[in-house]
Every structure is written in structure tokens, then in C-alpha cells.
Structure 1
């Protein structure tokens, strides 16, 4: 009988479809969440399958089945591009995943997204850097995501560069990376747990609210059954059947939404993360859990809401004002949550792992406490609201009669905002612990480029000076000298550059080409004073017992001037010998590696990519480094990215579910709205009344969310032993986003409201 009620008549079908859409949206997001582990595993397996740089200490011998691989990855407008140069050493050389034929020198095989970028007008600068001879695309098995930018390029003479760290010889792709990963910081594990709870709780709240769509009409129908002789058990079974039918239909809708979203996800990139649809396969066990939990939760929520129907059916039929809600049991939930989190206060990173069950349970109880407290707060607040304009009075009276429905609508957004505030406080509080301040002085230098061995720094500097947007160029060749050919007792650094460049790294007296300076006062340099004696023979790149064979280029030290150490652009004091180019014999050039430091005019469009193009023309294996003042832990950043991706999905669910809920409430009140219009109420007044009906609960809900979010944030910061601080601007931004979503939903519901406000709505049968 209950299942029949769910689909009886036009009104029953509309109500069932609205319930199914609301439940289905939640189910789709839950299925997406259950698919995340498999998606992450798939991305990891794809990355492992194409692994080429294993950082192994042993290099396999050359055979007809080996392949030389050079890392030629680059960056374009802050997007990383994975790039490899490949040179087979025989006909049996391995093929990377997703590639059926190795490219010839100068040819490229690219990912579909990179191909589209190179062919677009936006890719003009990138085309200057990469080969335009595209001979194929990388198939799905060779990519970790649908929007990944990647390429393979044919290489030449890579064997001569094997020892520079960016070229390796491999026998197969997919070898395991050497070494073990570091253990996770307990605070990061805490962040992951809280992120999952905070993102999933609003979904559960929305599913619980969706199964109550049409709740007032359902309650009146069940109360009528109770009055004509149905006992309490029969009434509950009928209600359970109705809820079960709606939730099962919601599961079907949810699977459909998930399959649609799965295909859409394959075409999207959110915060530089993309997936293939094939990745999003929910774990069978977790999917079965969703399939069982959602109908069970629908039945439990419905039965919990039947108290008034079973005990006071006459009051429900008459739509009398319900009994006042009790406060005491509602306070037990947040108090219980705080009690579960309290034992871990002050633990920090050094106190061992946080108890996962207590963290999950405590955060859940605090957030569920919002859903329990909000109906009481809305009921208590609106009971004290009184006179005002007609629109205000209509809204207040409606809230006084059905505050529970209004609270259910706002519960999800309140839970989401409270969780977001707590997470924002936690992330802001621990960010410094996972952020390392670099010593680089960004005011002096913005980019650094390595020069290949054997290239005079003056030649590279000239190329960069011709590059648009480059203001200053400081080029250095660097190496080490010892006092003996083999196993020297002393060694010191040698820095070669023109006078302008040397003045950036030390305090010089006078300087002209041909001068040599010995730096004094550098913190970690102790050998320079012993070696800086005119006429002494020093040796570049001496040999050592560990097997390193140097070129052992001799150099007779000329007259030496004194220079004072100074903090250079890298934030350190450079010691050793500073040498101008004319003071060195030409033979030493092959023993020196070079660095170019660039000061840029950052107002020039794409100045970083102009520099990268020049660097690629000088040395295809170069990897220009953009200086930053600080850098964050990769794990911390990945958790933040996961939070942003998840929050985007939850926010979309919030908006869609709120819109469905609003339409359901308007449909329930269509006769009332039509009657008011028939009696002469202005449509503007009714529109404003609907806005007030939404605004009052959302203000109360966001206020409660702020209190609970701040409380939870403070407790989490205390648990991580981090100083308390509140970024009020971010807090207000969270509240503003929540309010903005509700305002948008209200505006979207105005067109249906205008259609419902017609006298024809009074017709009945």
C-alpha cells in the first residue's frame, strides 16, 4: 500500500520523481566517492607502467633491447608538460605504453590535449619550443588523465649525456622506483579524515532531506489512515513502503546520474586533475554498501519523523501548530562529539597517529548536531517574529507553521559551511608546518637556467639578453679545484663570470677581465686561504678513489686579489675563487658547468615562456627554474587539491538539491498561492515572501554553522598543537558562498513560482 501511495496519481508521480532526483543526486556523488580509490589506483598504475626514471645507481649495459630516455618536460603558462626524448639502441628497444612506434629524431607523438593546444592560437609560443612534426597521438594506456599534456620526441646522441642526471638507459618501462616513501605525517592523516567527513556529511544530510520531500502531504495521508483504524505498526509499515519505493527509484536515478557524470568527468579538468571514465569504477563492496544504506536511511528517517503522526494524528490532519521541540537531547550530539575529540587535544605531530575512529565519530557528531539544533533554533526564533510588511508576515506565518521543512532545506548548506570553516581554520593553522621558505631573493632574480658543460656562459648570456622581457643577465661557470691531481687534501669552489656578475656574489675592490679574487669570510669555506697562493698549480676536476675520473685540467694561479663574502641571489655566501674569463685557459671550459640568473620585466606577456623558448634553443635538456619565495609539501598540496575538487562537486550538489527542494515546497503550496493571487495579493509580494522564507532560515543556519565551525576548528587546531588564529576574511567568504548558493537557487525558483501563481491552480477534482 505504501509503495502504491508513492506512485498514485499525478501528484504522487511528481512527488516521487522529485524525491528520486534529490536522492539520486546524493547517490551519484556517493558512487563517485566510492569510485575515488579505484580512480587513484588506476592513475598510480598508469604512472607506474610508464616509469622510466627509477634513480637506480646501476646503469644497464647497452644492448639491442635498450632505450635511452631524456627528461625534456617543460612548463607552459604554469601548466606542467611531461616530455621525454627517446633514442633506441637496437631494434628490440621497449615501447612506452600508449605508443606503437618510436618517433624518429625530430618527430613527436603527443597527447590529444597537447595536440589540441599546439594547433590552437594559444599554442603559438609553445610551437616555437616543441617540434611541429607530430606523427601520432599517445593512446589512453600511456596517459594518467584525459587532460594530461605529454609528448614523446625522437632524440639523437643521448648516450653522450648519460651522466648528467636527465638521461637514463632502460631495458623496460614500468620498473619500480628505488627506495621507500616517507611515512605520512599524523597531521596530514588528520586532514584527510576530516576532509572526507566534511565532504560526505552534506551528501548524507541532503539524501535524508530528499526522502522527506512531500512530507506534509504524506503525514496528512498517514494520519488519516491512523484515524480510520490503522494501528501504529501498520502506519509505520505503510510509511516505510512509501519511503522505500521513493529511495529505490532514487537509486536508479543515482546510477543514471553517475553514468552521465562519469562521461562528463572524462572531458573535464578540475584544479589540474583529470581522469578517464574507465577509472571511475566504484568498488563493488562500497557500491553495495551505498545501495543498502540509502534505502535503509530513507526508512529510518521516515519512521523517526512519524512521531506526531502516530501519537497525535488529529493535530496533523488539522495542520495545527506542532508541539514545541525539546532542546536537551539535541545538545547531547555536539557535546558527545567534543568528548570524543577531547582526548587528542595537544597531541600534535609527535604524539603518534590520531585515533581515526574518534576523529571520524567526533566530527560527525558535531556536524550532525547542526541538523538536530537547527530545527529548534528556527522554531524558537520565528515564534518571536511579529508584525511587518505583508510579504514578511506571510513568510513568518508560514515558517511558524512548518519550521521543520525550512530547517531541513537549510541543514545541508549549514553542515557544508560549518565543515568548510573548520577545514579552512585547520589548513590555515598547519600550512606553515608544511611550507618551506626558500632562500631565493625574488626581488633580484626571477628565473635560473642551467648551461650545458662546455658552453661559454657569455654565449648563453647573449642569447638571453636578446629575449624580450629580460632586463639583466648574470652568467656563471662553476667548478671545483684541488691542489693535487688525485685525492686532493684541499678543494675549493671556482666561480667564473664577468665583473658585473661577480659583483652580485661578493664585495670586490676594483675589477677587470683577467682578475682572480679569493673570497674571505664565507661561512663554510675553509680551504681557500690555503690554496689561493699565486704561482701554485691547481687541478680542475681531480680524481678520487671512489671511481670518479676527472679531466684533471691544470691551472697555474695568477696574482690574487682579496674579496669579501656577501649573500648572493641564492641566499648563501659564495666562497672560493672568483675568476674573470681571461684568467682561465680554454681547456678548463669542459670542466665547468654553468648557471644563468635572469632578472625579468614581469609586465611583459608570457615572459616566462619566452625565456623557456630561449633555454630550449640553447639546450633541449634544460629545465628553467622559476624562483618562488616558498614551496609547500606535495602531499599537503594534493590534499588541498582533493578538497577543492570534492568541494566543487558538493557545492554543485548543494545547489541542485536546494533547487529541487524549493520546487517541491512550491508545488505543495500551489493551491495556497493561487488562492492568495485570486484574492488580489500582488505577485511581487508573494515573490518577496518566498525570498523571506528562504532568507530567515539561512541566516539562522549560517549563524549556527559559524559557531559550530569555529568550535570544531579550534578543537582541531588544539589537537594539532597549533596556535589559534581565525582568518575572518575567509570565514566571511565561506558564509558568503553559502548565502550566494541559496540566493541563486531562490532566483532560479522564481519562474516556476510565477507559473504556480495562477487562479487556475484552484481547480480540483
Structure 2
């Protein structure tokens, strides 16, 4: 067979699809919509690398943290930048104060000119928030006049909250990164950290698990209208075409539908790309310009989808005998064999087996083995489900009329029923495996902060050390605050420069120190010692009465105040409270009068706040007070744990992908269900004409959907649990199952199918009219 004959037959099939009248156009449109939904999601996936790259580049371009780099001298090309980040109802607000020091001072990306003192330029989302009725408290915290908006190059997303405000009198402190001097924005020396191998493993599994259902949906979509198509092909056999030519013509019809699906998918993607700018999920948003697919990956999709349509059709036609007098499909078929269907998941597990126990201590995972192994296990669901459905429905017996109609339909076409729910079964299996993997590894990316939110609700770190008394008093009077505790901490070295032994200093009044340790008695001027079991002999000896030291010693490259101080003779030893406000306090504890003159400016000052949680927005009142007392102060809520940013971002990506796949599941199932009902329109009308009740026919459709989906979800749960356990073994993590999540994911899949069934009932009622018996 030459290539010219292949092209001629494929072209003939494409012409049949286009010129097949109303029936042909409806079938082709349904195929195009089904394929298009999958193509749109594939194009979105090919754009993800560019999304991550674009966001990273935007973040790098506006970088203004120097990370202890040398401070450049003041000049005509320098600008002072103060960090004033804050929160609003758990949403981060990026804030900066700008003070240009010369005519050639660099502007941050997205800003056309420097705002004057009392002015600010804001992101569009922050401008909208400040102008809303609910932004009153935030307007008190940002008492600047809005004179412009930040352009897209200065933001990482359309919903980001950010502002740049003008300032005067900013000062660069040697031991603080809150005010820095820059000659240019952006990180001139970006560092590349070694990526965690387990995070790479999780990323690979996320992509494979989310994309496999898409491929399954596309493969199912190109087979829409298969029964009617095969009956039409019998006419071609009657006029002289052989079986091979018939298959190629059928492949040509599928090719036409897939090509139209590519066009429809591109339109869907462009619509979704434009709508992405108005969507925010878990605090993440994206500009439409980020969603530019990689040209190479987009070309791969454009080639792979039509090729898959042809291959799937040719493979499906192997089980159908198209003869000149009809299609041999309804005859009793040979029982499906199980042994070769088990080979796919077993081969996948065999590919994953060599990496069991590798974890993050044995280098990177083999990406090809991980991708291939997970893919084969999930594709194994599509191979096992038809056998499971057939084996189950052949054993079903008597029941109500609706049940018998459904069972007989399933017995005659169990493959069609399995194909309809294959995608959702694969999606649920992948989701269960991912949930197990993320839940099992969550503890490794979640650290205990050592802070007790019951002891302090918030912490306010001050930049201006002279304002500690004012800040403590103002915060104590703030609405929603029960109590405030002011503490300072610093260091004591045994030498002026580069000390060999150091001890920590904690300064606070008697009431504040009692929040940390048990004090028998206390008055201003007292000094206490709290030795730690981790202190070595030299440190314990250094904290004895009469020892001389220096507060704020000088280190290489960092000039200190070098204030001399002698440990007093009336030193008393104390023990820490079990519920100490800070679990890391050790060393010397001083009341304010015991601190030598001038040493207060060398310390770091913090105010701990206990909130009355019954007062709405109590934390926002605290942030307003902190900003009023010290514009550069940072106020943040205490939490018991903190999670890795990379892990949290990956989990957010998983959530976004799962939402997209779930939407695709629902839309594709609905299209598939409508196609199944359309092919059975004449049969349904005939049954209604013979007296079958509409309710009986509706229930039969429900049973036809419920039985395969129940079997599919059971199989998905088994495969998902197995795959999840293997992935946890790969990450060298104990296997555990969150049964609540497994049940919720399975229930979500069932809910999607139920919703699709309900949405298909109105078309079903319309198809059961007598007009369905008409023929042309």
C-alpha cells in the first residue's frame, strides 16, 4: 500500500465527515468539542513552563533585597528602599518606601516616576480595594495619596496587592535589611539552589496524573458516533471497498473531527487565556501574557492529537467486522482476556521498583522511569475497566424494567460504557495517589515554629529602637488587644572584635521577664541567668559574676558599638517556664536599669500581643497601630507551623490543575452522554411508543451510568492506593492512608457523574418524542 492511496482514503473519509448532512455535522461537532476541550487543557499545560519562568523573571527584575551584600556609597544613581510589607485579611501586601538620593536614581519596574513624600503608586487591585467600602481600616494604615498605578512589568499577577510610597529620612542600618541602598533593581548575582529530588518526583507525578485523563478523554472523543459510522461504512463495502480501505476511510473521518477539534481547542484556550487574568485561586493570579505555550510543545500537540485519532480509530476497528450487508457488532463477542491487561500496571510498578527507598539522600530520581511507570499504572486502569465491567454485568440478573433495560444495554456494549467512564476513573486514581503522596510528605515540608499562639497572638518587630516604650503603650491601648509584652535582645561577647565566646541578652521589665522564666522576686536593676544544657563550659563560665564583656562586639566586615559591661555580682539563676513566651531564650536576662547607657540602640526590639479573638479584625487594628508608630515595623500572626514555599506552590499548582481536569471531566462526560443518547434516539422513541414510561427510561439511563462509574471508582481507588503506596516508598516515607481524603475524592468523581446525568435528562426527554421515529 503506497502513501498516495493512504492519503486518498483519508481524504475521502474527511469529505464524508464534512458532507454527511445533518447527522455528519452533529457527529463531527460533538467530536470537535470533545477533542477541543482536551486540546485546550493540553495547550494550557504547555504554557505552564512559561508561566513559571515569567513570574520568576518579574520577581527577579524587582528584587530589592541585598542579602548582606556590601552597601554602595551614596551617589547620584542610588535610591533608598524601605520594606513595609503587611497583610490584609490573610492576603499579602507588598509595600516599599522610596527615597531617591540623586537625579539618576533607578526606578522600580512598572513605575514611571518617584512618588513624593505622602504619595504612592499602587497596583490596580490595591487601588480597587482601597476605594471599596471594606477598605476603611486599610486606608488608615496607608495614609498616602494615590497618584498613579504600577504597570504590568512591576507585578507578578493582576490581583497582586502592592504599592510604592515616597519617603524622606530613611537610614541604612548595618544590622537590618529593612532599608537598603540600591544602584539598580534586580538580583545581579542570582543563585541557583539544588532542587529537592522529592519535589522533582512530586512535580513529575502531578503532571503525569493530570495529563493522562486528558489523553484518555481525547481518545474517547474521536470515537463518538462509532456505531452509526460503522453502519454507513457497510454501504461502502457494498460498492466495492475492501476492509482495509474501509478502516482508512473511518480514520479519515476521525482525522477531520480531530483537526476541527484542534481549531476548537485553540479557541477555547484563547478564551480561557483571556479569562485567566480575572481569576484568583489561593492568592495566585496570572497575566494572560504569561500563558504563551512553548512553540515546540504546541507543535507536538498539533501533531500528536490527529495522529492519535487515526491510531485509535484503526485500533477500534479491529474488533468490528464491516460487511456489505451490515455490521457484525451485536453478535456475542469473545470474552475479554485479563492476562495482558495486567501487564500494563505490572510493567509500570516494575519501572518504579528500582527507585524504592531512594528518598532525597541518593540523588535525583530517574525522570523517565518515574514518568513511564506512573503513566503505565494509570493507563492500566483504562485496560482493566472494560474487563471488569464486562465480567460484572454478565452476572447481573432480574430486576425492575428500568434495571433490565440498563443491564441489557450494558451487556451488549460494555466497552462503550467503560470507555465513557475511563477518564474519570484515571483522574480519580491519579488524585488518590497524589493525595497520599502529598499527605505523607507534608510533615517533611512543615516545620514547628516553637511558638504558642495561646501565649501570644502576634509579634511586632520594630525598626526604630527608640520607640519601644511608645509602641508597647500604644499597642496595649489598641482595640482588640488584651495585653502587650515588650522585650529586647542582643549579644554579649568576650572581646571587642571577633569574640570567641558569646552569650545572649534579653531585656525587659519584671512583668515581661515573668512571661519567660520563673522569678522569685524582681525589681528594676536585677540581672538573672538562664543557662542552657546546650551551652559549653566556656559560655557558662563567661556568664559568671565579675566577668567583663562587650555588648555588640565588632565582627569582620560589620562595625559594632563595643559597649563594655561587667556581669554584676548579684546574679541569680532562674528556670524557664514550661509555657515560656519564647522557647529559645537563654543567657542573661536584664531589667532596663541594669543595661548600660547607650546599649539600648544595639538591641532588637519586639512587642508581643495577645488578642481578644472575639473582636472582629483585631489583628488589623494591631497592624494599623504598628504602622502608625513605626512605618517600617513588621507585624505578623503567630502560628505553630510554617510550610515550605516550594511545597505550598506545588500544592497550589496541583489544586489549579485538579480544578481544570475536573471541569474537563464534567464537560467531556456531558458531551459523551449526549452522543450516546443521540445514537439511541430512535430506540428510545420506539420504546416510548410501545408504552414504556418516561420515568422508566430515565432510570435506565441513570443505571447505565451508575453501574460503570461505581466499578470504575472502585478500580480507581484500588489502583490509586497502590500507586500512592509505591510513590511513598520511593520517597522513603512510611505508608499512610488518609481515608477521609480517599472517600472525598471518590465522592467528588461520583458527584460529577451524577451532575452530568441530571443535566442530560432534559435532552433525553426531548429525544423521546414521536418525531424521533422519523427517518430520511
Show the counterpart of 1:478.
489
Q: Which of 723, 727, 739 is matched with 1:716 structurally? A: 727
| Residues 508 and 562, structure 1, Cα contact 8 Å, conserved in 2 | no
Show the counterpart of 2:340.
329
SS in 1 for 2:180: strand
User: What do the CA deviations read for 1:143-193 (whole angstroms, capped 9, x no partner)?
Assistant: 111111111111211135465211111111223345x33211221111111
User: What do the CA deviations read for 1:9-34 (whole angstroms, capped 9, x no partner)?
Assistant: 11111111010000000001111111
SS in 1 for 2:234: helix
Are 1:289 and 2:300 matched, yes or no?
A: yes
Structure 1: runs of 5+ lacking an equivalent: none
Are 1:727 and 2:727 matched, yes or no?
A: no
User: What do the CA deviations read for 1:249-295 (whole angstroms, capped 9, x no partner)?
Assistant: 11110111111111011211122221111111111111111111000
Show the counterpart of 1:69.
81
Displacement of 1:125 in angstroms is: 2.0
Alpha-carbon RMSD: 2.3
SS in 2 for 1:164: coil
Q: Which of 204, 225, 228 is matched with 1:214 structurally? A: 225
Show the counterpart of 1:276.
287
Question: Which 10-residue stretch deviates more, 228-237 or 390-399?
Answer: 228-237
Displacement of 1:556 in angstroms is: 8.7
SS in 2 for 1:86: strand
* Cα 1:173/1:267, change in 2 over 3 Å: same
User: What do the CA deviations read for 1:125-151 (whole angstroms, capped 9, x no partner)?
Assistant: 221211341111111111111111111
Displacement of 1:237 in angstroms is: 1.5
Name the CA distance, whole Å, in 2 between partners of 1:400 and 1:256: 39
Are 1:9 and 2:21 matched, yes or no?
A: yes
| Residues 566 and 573, structure 1, Cα contact 8 Å, conserved in 2 | no
Show the counterpart of 2:314.
303
Show the counterpart of 1:660.
671
Name the CA distance, whole Å, in 2 between partners of 1:632 and 1:75: 18
User: What do the CA deviations read for 1:381-414 (whole angstroms, capped 9, x no partner)?
Assistant: 1111111111111111111111111111100000
* Cα 1:528/1:332, change in 2 over 3 Å: closer
SS in 2 for 1:624: strand
Name the CA distance, whole Å, in 2 between partners of 1:529 and 1:589: 25
Are 1:595 and 2:606 matched, yes or no?
A: yes
Show the counterpart of 2:378.
367
User: What do the CA deviations read for 1:512-557 (whole angstroms, capped 9, x no partner)?
Assistant: 33333333456437546655537x8765334456551316266794
Q: Which of 126, 136, 156 is matched with 1:114 structurally? A: 126
Name the CA distance, whole Å, in 1 between partners of 2:68 and 2:646: 24
* Cα 1:311/1:214, change in 2 over 3 Å: closer
* Cα 1:619/1:524, change in 2 over 3 Å: farther
Q: Which of 692, 702, 706 is matched with 2:717 structurally? A: 706
Show the counterpart of 2:41.
29
SS in 2 for 1:495: strand
Aligned pair count reads: 763
Show the counterpart of 1:651.
662
| Residues 519 and 528, structure 1, Cα contact 8 Å, conserved in 2 | no
SS in 2 for 1:439: coil
* Cα 1:218/1:462, change in 2 over 3 Å: same
User: What do the CA deviations read for 1:82-125 (whole angstroms, capped 9, x no partner)?
Assistant: 11111100111111111111111121111111111111122222
Show the counterpart of 1:91.
103
Structural mapping, 1:583-622, within 5 Å: 583-584=594-595, 587-622=598-633
Are 1:548 and 2:567 matched, yes or no?
A: no
User: What do the CA deviations read for 1:297-331 (whole angstroms, capped 9, x no partner)?
Assistant: 00100000101334777673574344332222222
Name the CA distance, whole Å, in 2 between partners of 1:293 and 1:402: 28
Name the CA distance, whole Å, in 2 between partners of 1:23 and 1:412: 13
* Cα 1:522/1:246, change in 2 over 3 Å: same
Show the counterpart of 1:59.
71
Displacement of 1:565 in angstroms is: 4.1
Displacement of 1:491 in angstroms is: 4.6
Show the counterpart of 1:266.
277
Structural mapping, 1:335-346, within 5 Å: 335-346=346-357
What is the TM-score when the length of structure 1 is the normalising length?
0.95
Structural mapping, 1:431-580, within 5 Å: 431-455=442-466, 457-482=468-493, 491-520=502-531, 523-524=534-535, 527=539, 530=542, 533=545, 539-543=550-554, 548-550=559-561, 552=563, 557=568, 559-566=570-577, 569=580, 572=583, 574-580=585-591
Displacement of 1:56 in angstroms is: 4.9
| Residues 499 and 580, structure 1, Cα contact 8 Å, conserved in 2 | yes
* Cα 1:518/1:49, change in 2 over 3 Å: closer
Are 1:195 and 2:206 matched, yes or no?
A: yes
* Cα 1:623/1:323, change in 2 over 3 Å: same
Name the CA distance, whole Å, in 2 between partners of 1:267 and 1:256: 18
SS in 1 for 2:320: helix
| Residues 95 and 163, structure 2, Cα contact 8 Å, conserved in 1 | yes
Show the counterpart of 2:152.
140
Are 1:414 and 2:425 matched, yes or no?
A: yes
Name the CA distance, whole Å, in 2 between partners of 1:591 and 1:163: 9
Name the CA distance, whole Å, in 2 between partners of 1:15 and 1:487: 81
Q: Which of 100, 104, 115 is matched with 2:116 structurally? A: 104
* Cα 1:313/1:54, change in 2 over 3 Å: farther
What is the TM-score when the length of structure 2 is the normalising length?
0.94
Displacement of 1:228 in angstroms is: 4.8
SS in 1 for 2:574: strand
* Cα 1:95/1:521, change in 2 over 3 Å: closer
* Cα 1:311/1:338, change in 2 over 3 Å: farther
* Cα 1:749/1:504, change in 2 over 3 Å: same
Structure 2: runs of 5+ lacking an equivalent: 1-11
Name the CA distance, whole Å, in 1 between partners of 2:584 and 2:558: 30
SS in 1 for 2:76: coil
| Residues 432 and 742, structure 2, Cα contact 8 Å, conserved in 1 | yes
| Residues 223 and 317, structure 1, Cα contact 8 Å, conserved in 2 | no
Q: Which of 639, 650, 664 is matched with 2:650 structurally? A: 639
Name the CA distance, whole Å, in 2 between partners of 1:67 and 1:162: 16
| Residues 226 and 310, structure 1, Cα contact 8 Å, conserved in 2 | no
SS in 2 for 1:305: helix
SS in 2 for 1:423: helix
User: What do the CA deviations read for 1:183-228 (whole angstroms, capped 9, x no partner)?
Assistant: 1122111111111100000000000000011111112222343355
Displacement of 1:571 in angstroms is: 5.1
Question: Which 10-residue stretch deviates more, 634-643 or 551-560?
Answer: 551-560
SS in 2 for 1:159: coil
Q: Which of 195, 220, 229 is matched with 1:184 structurally? A: 195
Name the CA distance, whole Å, in 2 between partners of 1:137 and 1:5: 56
Q: Which of 149, 152, 164 is matched with 2:161 structurally? A: 149
Displacement of 1:679 in angstroms is: 2.0
| Residues 54 and 177, structure 1, Cα contact 8 Å, conserved in 2 | no
Name the CA distance, whole Å, in 1 between partners of 2:579 and 2:559: 30
| Residues 487 and 606, structure 2, Cα contact 8 Å, conserved in 1 | yes
Question: Which 10-residue stretch deviates more, 664-673 or 524-533?
Answer: 524-533
Show the counterpart of 2:32.
20
SS in 2 for 1:712: helix
User: What do the CA deviations read for 1:439-466 (whole angstroms, capped 9, x no partner)?
Assistant: 2223312221113343253322211111
